[in-house]
Structure 1
Amino acid sequence: MKQMKLWMHAAILIICGTVSMQAETLRGTVKDAITGEPLIGATVRVVELQGAAAVTDIDGNYLINISQGGRYTIESTYIGYEPSMMKEILISGVKEVVLDIALRENSTELKEVVVRPRVNKESTVNPAVLTGGVMLSMEEASRFAGGANDPARLVMAFAGVSGEADGSGLSIHGNAPERMQYRIEGVEVFTPNHYNDMWNAGYGLISGLNSNVIGNSDFFTSTFNANYSNALSGVFDVKMRPGNNSKHENILQLGSAFEELTLEGPLSKKSNASYIVNYRYGFTALISQLGLVDTEGDQLNFQDFSWKLNLPTKKAGTFSIFGLALLDKTHTDRIDLKDVHSAYDASNFNGDMTQLLAGISHKIHLGNKWSWNTTAAYNMQHIGVDNLYYGLERDANGVLKTPLAFEEPETQYLFSKQKQNEDRLLFNTELSKQITGKWLTQFGAEYSHRFFDLKYSSVDYLYADPSTMKTYTDMKDDTGLASAFWQNLLTLSDKFSMSLGVAANYFVLSDDVSVEPRASMKWQPYNGGSFSLGYGLHSMVEKLDTYFYRDETGRLVNKDLGLSKAHHLQFSYSHKFTDNLNLRLNMFYQYGFDTPVGINGSTYCVTNRFYAYTDEPLVNKGNTRNYGGDITLEHYMSHGFFGQTNFSLYKSQYRGVDKVWRNQLYDRGFMFKILGGKEWMIGKNVLNVSAKYSIQGGLRYTPIDVEAMRANVAAGIINDDPIYKENEAFSKRFKPTSVVDLTVSYKINRRKVSHTIAFEGLNILDAEAPQWQRYDLATGEIRTDKAGISLPNIFYRLDF
């Protein structure tokens, strides 16, 4: 009996030991933020847990076993470097938490000052940035309501950034979405949104980027450093994360709107090589049939695939092979007769888009604090669209007889055809050196060679003879854009820093050169408070079809257009009330010049571009101005709660050759957002509820000349494009629109698998924003059309 008790005690000890070995795992590397070299002997500890600490090995690796899942603060220290504080890191579930920590060399003597730890929420990934940018943490941002694994929708929560309920196009401070730039792994790419440029420039439905694959990235809204060229409103500098190099991990998500699979793991544990791949398939047919969404006849089917192979070597540095592919198809079903009130209602839009990015990057430490990054890539975007209209019944003289009646059931009339094919070869190289503890320098160059095949044809009015179709663009050629930069960060004291740089851009097509100074400073007069000021001159190339419009004689009248340019000025103030409550105030002014605008009485300006093609002659004689301010109050996650509210007030205008200031299309005037959430740890399980409310002013619009439209219809001329009162261009504004997003998720953590059941509702109240006006053929009056989609995604996710 005594022996039996001993065996029972032993069994209990073994079971307890097994349970303890099932601890959560935190691991990663500690490296120099500039060179990426591993720091040997750095200390990493979990602040809330006694004894939960580790020292990095010869490769900079650390590993900490944690007995109880939860949210923790991770602190890292190393002699001669600023301490790092990573707050509210969730360690729970079957998926390993891999936390790579970048420490910055201390710029002051330890005897002079007590070095404060650098908190992860207070700095950008790019170490030379002092103002105009924020870091987007994927783990933090994934808690935002309505994120849909889409980084573009996540940044819509930021102050000064507006978007639509039915798209991922980002308008910053009243600029058009196409004025901003996306970068992936160091090179400029096409806006990686599904259906990008098919309806209007720089827009799209949802981003092809996926937060399951993306790592912490930088988002810039003004005065961005000299590293970033060819953008006028902002830059989204996206980094793809490497896969887990120690164990295989998988995610399977099945939902009403998206299905996706993510796989990652080691390729070779000896070399620490890893892979990560993600595939997603989205559609509207199922949710439309289930009655969850009214797509109004638009059938959207899209796929995307992203990957990254991380291949470190012993002496030759680290190689990465990465890519992103998007495949989109859209078709408009014929709607019911009772819903046809305009020619647009009887339209049929058939289109497809293919986008591909494939590249290889290399990073190597050259010793003595030198780091060298190089990326070569291929990027393409091919778009084909046919715009057709079902016939409306007319009499023998071509006069509209019964506006609500179709001709033959399947009769369709071609109105326009467009092809936008562009292929780019990209190359970027950048060197960084921490010359002293007070001086960091970065310099490099980028070249993009662009091959294009563009064609746009259209008839003058609906139901015209197809043989009368006019070709506005028909060009197959190539050109290039080259840039070089030099940026320096000078830490003059523990309270004052400056960042000085210059960029130079050369556009081969128009033989145009732009030299652009960039400067910023940051002053921290007291602990928790800072002032910053930034200035930059920026330029960008317009969409290539802008340069190849042909007039009635066939001449390329826009081919000599140069770069569009703008001066940026921004002032920022930040104050921390507590470690978790932060106030930020931004004031900005942007003055654009050499902006392409219309001639011969036209009020057109490229900053108001809404449709995919330019079809008129332009000159570089326009100006723009955008000015205003943002205020943000943010509560970082603490005790399971997080929240943010921000308000923006701004004005955006343009003027053409007549020197009259007018409102820009995206001059919404104001926007207000409030979001928050609460997380509960229920044993090892996690319940999360988050919501976001936003309201913003409507888009600007030009009134329609009703009498002129009535006269056209009476004469038998039916056209979907209204006749506008050009002397009142963008003088009106649609009513404000408010949107509510809601996410509720419950994650069940088991030893080898985690289950998540969630409702992720984008625009759950089905709000529709007024977007344009049309002439109603039935009433002879003007009608306001609205756009917006409520996208409820009910999904089940499996982590294993």
Structure 2
Amino acid sequence: MKKYFFTLLAGLYSVIAQAQPVQVVKGRVTDTESQQPVIGANVVITSLNPVIGNTTDTEGYFRIENVPVGRHSFKITSVGYDHAFLQEITVGSGKEVELTIKLSESFKALDEVVIKAQKENGAPLNDMVSVSGRSFTVDQTKRFAAAVNDPARMALSFAGVATNDDGNNQIIVRGNSPKGMLWRMEGVEIPNPNHFAQEGSSGGGISALSANVLGNSDFLTGAFPAEYGNATSGVFDLKLRKGNNEKREYAMQAGVLGLDFAAEGPIGPKCGASYLANYRYSTLAVLNKIGLNIQGDFSNTFQDGAFKVYIPYGDRAVVSVWGLGGLSTSSADNEDLKEKFQSNRGVVGVNYLRFINNKSYFENTISYSATKQSDDFYDKIRQTNYQQDFINQALRISLLYNYKMNARNTFRLGVIVNHYNFNLFDKDDEDGPYVVKVNQEGSTELFQAYGQWKHRLTSTLTLNAGIHAMLLALNDQSSIEPRLGLKWAAAPKHTFSLGAGLHSKTESISTYFAQVNIGDNRTDELNKNLKLMKSAHAVAGYEFRPSASWRVLSEVYYQHHYNIPIGPANTTTPFLLHNSQLNEISGFVTDTLTSDGKGRSYGLELTVEKSLTNGIYFMSTTSLYQSKYTGRDGIERDSRFNGKFVQNVLAGKEWKVGKNKTNIFAANIKLLAAGGNRTTPIDLEQSRKDRKTVYDWSKSYSEQLPTYFRTDLRVSYTKNRKRTSSTLSLDIQNVTNRLNAFNRYYELKNDRVKLITQTGLLPILNYRLEF
């Protein structure tokens, strides 16, 4: 009966549709744990009056016709399942909207009155995440001021996250080095997905990810579930959406950062298969080719692409083939230096998902990835040269088995095998004749295994327990890592959470093979037996949701780091004596290291957030933290990333404009204040003698630069026609043109210590067309 009622309402809206653009909203509703279809679920658009919707068929699919364009909220209900809510869903006239919705089974009798834990907006997609995790949408990467379609830059607005460089999207999570970040796509680890990335880093100048192919994804900042390994600071768990399997759709985009083209559509006649592809080419490269050089002595060019092919086999199996790749080059030739830096990367994978029965499934993934970094640098003033050529390849096989025993218990087991091939070369003549820092070719393996158990003790109390194991074959270093999470919905608006776990991380392969000078013109690979860096996390959280669109979340955490690479016991080198790998951004180290260091970070975070409803959204995130390390000298110091506080305020407003109020004008603002970068004082006299910057490492990171302030604005206008949607946007980064301090160095030419400032006002204009 409900289905006929929804059909009648849709028919009434079709009459209205003649006066304004409408679109199709479709998707699938599945069980959270088993991924089986939920039959007969009601999907209702609550933002319309009267509401419209539809029910799911025998495969869990639904389709709602003639949905007016605009922002909409959804409520999803089904007998025997907890309710779910979706907000901030953008419906435009250019593309159909496809939703993936998961419901958690209720195990209470139907006539019992109980408090139910409901799937709320912003909750992690991975239901085994108990603390320090949230989902984010592609729309947020487009809408947030200063995000410019980049998930990493968008995440800088979340609690616990900071950065220290306007020109780089490295993210510092809870005062930890960006090296501890894990990037995953479609369930497997991928190389750093950023252009102009350096060896061992997790960020870069420009993201190689495209908003045209990304789906809703998760971002985690601590106490990860057992399936996540080889990470100590944060996790980006990215998903690619599947293409439209019913009609062909296209998107074109032109802006300062690049020219994009995306296409998607069905494969074959009504089999449910689809393709999705995107390609982007650097705008600056295009201008250079037609003779317009606006970069001066520096030239930065890049291109990237991504795709996904989705092929279902009956109702029991799905094969997905996907990939991501990017090429980037930075070159310069002026009176001071000549350099050509290249950073290329790519990954391709095949996923096979097979449902064994209505309680269990397995998913197998095979992926191959490769990165190539080369750098040829010549300092014309000091007449020194630096050459580097790193090639890293990885073949990964991931096996996952998921079994939902009943509404209370779900088990997940997995094995991941990583086979690495590497060809590494690095040399320089900074301190005399050419010194080779690494020259190695070979292979090794990293083995991982995990088990997870989700146990719902009551309808409001959920336990997530598991264990992760790692073994690096290169040096037989291993780790057994217990994980535990607890979530209690004490009342309809109040949720408490706890999480704890041990996490470990390998060093970059190049660090293990660094050729350290041991005298008499001999070198040795002294870092080959470094232990896995480990970090123990403990988190407690409280969430209050006064309404469906508002939430207040606070978390307190403590992290203990050990097995940190530091200088050897007998070192007298100031840098090795007073420093630690907890202060590094990239991963290639040529010094002798031993795994004797330690550190800690702790803090308090507060998020006040209103999702985009009634044309308004708001988010305030406050992070108060301390980040410490202890080096070879045994003294605990502030780490390089101990900014101590970060305060973000984001807000936005949308107005419906035009004759039929179907077009949207939007304004967004972001205000940021954060503790300045920490830096090590420069020894001016020694710098003059050595004719280069020499730091006083006995005072490592004892100075803090001025507080970082920045204001970003974004304005956009979206026009919805009958079959197309176009958006013109302008992002103005650092509106006040404040030149925030970045670091100091010794300028040989003028014999002075010079302050390096960060990016000033930067406008980014963009036009997007969907059809």
C-alpha distance 731-696 of structure 1, shift in aligned 2 (>3 A):
same
Q: Which amino acid aligns with 2:611?
A: Y
| Preserved CA contact (<8 Å) 2:510 2:588 | yes
Decide which of 411, 420, 445 is 2:390's aligned counterpart: 420
Which residue of structure 2 aligns with residue 741 of structure 1? Answer: 712
Q: Give the match's secondary structure for 1:709.
A: helix
Q: Secondary structure at the match of 1:99?
A: strand
One-letter amino acid of the counterpart of residue 521, structure 1: L
Task: Spell out, residue by residue over 1:657-682, the C-alpha distance to the aligned partner (whole angstroms, 9 max, x if none).
Answer: 32211221111111110011011122
When residues 460 and 414 of structure 1 are mapped into structure 2, their CA distance, relative to the original with a 3 A threshold, is closer
Shift of 1:285: 6.6
Distance in 2 separating the partners of 1:531 and 1:102: 22
Q: 2:421 aligns with which of 443, 447, 451?
A: 451
1:116, distance to aligned residue in structure 2 (A): 4.3
One of 538, 545, 565 as aligned partner of 1:596: 565
**Does the CA-based 8 Å contact 1:739-1:763 persist in structure 2?**
yes
Please give the per-residue CA displacement for 1:189-214, whole angstroms capped at 9, x wherever unaligned.
1111111116x832311211122211
Is 1:648 aligned to 2:623, yes or no? yes
Q: State the AA in 2 paired with 1:751.
A: K
Q: CA deviation at 1:225?
A: 0.4
* 1:135 maps onto 2:135 in alignment: yes
Q: Does 1:685 align with 2:624?
A: no
Q: Tell me the CA shift for residue 63 of structure 1.
A: 1.2
Opposite residue 784 of structure 1, the aligned amino acid is L
Change (3 A) 1:226 1:507: same
Match of 1:675 in 2: 650
Q: Which residue of 1 aligns with 2:634?
A: 659
- Alignment counterpart, residue 375 of structure 1, candidates 365, 384, 403: 365
Aligned ranges 1:211-250 → 2 under 5 Å: 211-250=211-250
Q: Could you tell me how far apart the structure 1 residues matched to 2:468 and 2:587 are?
A: 30
Bigger mean CA deviation after superposition, 130-139 or 225-234: 130-139
* Partners of 2:166 and 2:285 in 1: CA distance: 19
Q: Which residue of 2 aligns with 1:541?
A: 506
Given that residues 673 and 708 in structure 2 are in contact (C-alpha distance below 8 angstroms), is that contact kept between their aligned partners in structure 1?
A: yes
Within 5 A, what are the aligned runs for 1:44-59?
44-47=43-46, 48-50=48-50, 52-59=52-59
Alignment pair present for 1:750 and 2:721? yes
CA distance in 2, matches of 1:307, 1:514: 35
Map of 1:721-736 to 2, 5 A cutoff? 722-736=693-707
What is the DSSP-based 3-state SS (H/G/I as helix, E as strand, rest coil) of the residue aligned with 1:440? strand
CA deviations on 1:532-552 (whole Å, 9 max, x unpaired) are 111000001011111111122
Q: Does 1:439 align with 2:409?
A: yes
Asked whether the 8 Å contact 1:34–1:371 carries over to 2, the reply is no
Task: Measure, in 2, the Cα distance between the counterparts of 1:732 and 1:289.
Answer: 45
**C-alpha contact 1:299 1:333 (8 A) present in aligned 2:** no
* Contact 1:450-1:478 at 8 Å conserved across structures: yes
Determine the C-alpha separation between the residues in 2 that align with 1:288 and 1:737.
Answer: 34
CA separation of 1:17/1:651 partners in 2, compared to 1, >3 Å: closer, same or farther? closer
Deviation string for 1:688-723 (max 9, x for gaps)?
Answer: 1111111211221111111112233xxxxx33xx22
Give the CA deviation at 1:17.
9.0
Aligned to 1:514: 479
CA distance in 2, matches of 1:18, 1:581: 32
Q: Check if 1:389 corresponds to 2:359.
A: no
Give 1:580 shift.
2.2
CA distance, structure 1, for counterparts of residue 389 and residue 207 of structure 2: 22
Structure 2 letter corresponding to 1:607 = L
Contact 2:21 2:720 in 1 (8 A): no
After superposition, residues 98-113 of structure 1 pair within 5 angstroms as: 98-113=98-113
Instruction: State the aligned residue count.
Output: 743
What CA distance in whole angstroms lies between the structure 1 residues aligned with 2:696 and 2:90?
Answer: 57
Deviation at 1:766, TM superposition (A): 4.0
1: CA distance between counterparts of 2:638 and 2:288?
37
Answer whether contact 1:52 1:66 (CA < 8 A) is retained: no
Conservation of the 8 A alpha-carbon contact between 1:585 and 1:629? yes
Query: In the alignment, is residue 185 of structure 1 matched against residue 205 of structure 2?
Result: no
Q: TM-score, normalised by structure 2?
A: 0.92
* TM-score, structure 1 normalization: 0.89
Equivalences for 1:137-152 in 2 at 5 Å?
Answer: 137-152=137-152
**1:414-470 deviation line (CA, Å, top 9, x unaligned):** 421111210000111111122111111111111111111111111134xx5xxx110
What is the deviation of 1:114? 4.3
Structure 2: distance between partners of 1:414 and 1:568? 44
Please give the alpha-carbon distance, in whole angstroms, between the structure 1 residues aligned to 2:120 and 2:139. Answer: 12
Q: Is the 8 A contact 1:26 1:98 kept in 2?
A: yes
Equivalent residues of 2:398, 2:416 under 8 A apart = yes
Q: Which runs of 5+ in 2 are unaligned?
A: 1-11
Aligned-partner Cα distance in 2 for 1:786–1:474: 36
C-alpha deviation, 1:610, in angstroms:
3.8
Deviations 1:479-512 (A, max 9, x none): 1111111111111112322111111110111101
Partner Cα distance (2:229, 2:67) in 1: 48
**Cα deviations by residue, 1:631-655 (Å, 9 ceiling, x for unpaired):** 1111112210001011111111111
CA contact (8 A) 1:151 1:210 kept: no
Q: What's 1:206 paired with? A: 206
* RMSD of equivalent CA atoms: 2.4
Deviation at residue 141 of structure 1 after TM alignment? 4.2
Residue 168 of structure 2 is matched in structure 1 by: 167
Distance 2:697 2:289 in 1: 42
CA distance in 2, matches of 1:680, 1:287: 35
1:577 aligns with 2:577: no
Alpha carbons of 1:236 and 1:303: their partners in 2 closer, same or farther (altered >3 Å)?
same
Question: In 2 relative to 1, CA 789–226 (structure 1 residues): closer, same or farther, beyond 3 Å?
Answer: farther
Aligned to 1:347: 337
Alignment of 1:494-643 (within 5 A): 494-552=459-517, 553-599=522-568, 600-601=571-572, 602=576, 603-610=578-585, 613-643=588-618
Q: Classify 1:479/1:598 alpha carbon distance in 2 versus 1 (closer, same or farther; 3 Å).
A: same
User: Separation in 1 of the partners of 2:589 and 2:51?
Assistant: 65
| Structure 1 position 697 matched with structure 2 position 675 | yes
Assess if the C-alpha contact under 8 Å between 1:285 and 1:300 holds in 2.
yes
Q: Is the 8 A contact 2:305 2:326 kept in 1?
A: yes
Partner of 1:154, secondary structure, is helix
Give the superposition deviation at 1:88: 3.4
| Counterpart residue number, 1:405 | none
User: In structure 1, what is the equivalent of residue 9 of structure 2?
Assistant: none
Do the aligned partners of 1:31 and 1:37 also contact (CA within 8 Å) in 2? yes
Q: Name the CA distance, whole Å, in 2 between partners of 1:664 and 1:670.
A: 14
State the Cα deviation string for residues 311-333 of structure 1 (Å, max 9, x = none). 11115500000000010000124
Instruction: Kindly state the Cα deviation for residue 154 of structure 1 after the two structures are TM-superposed.
Output: 1.1
Aligned to 1:302: 302
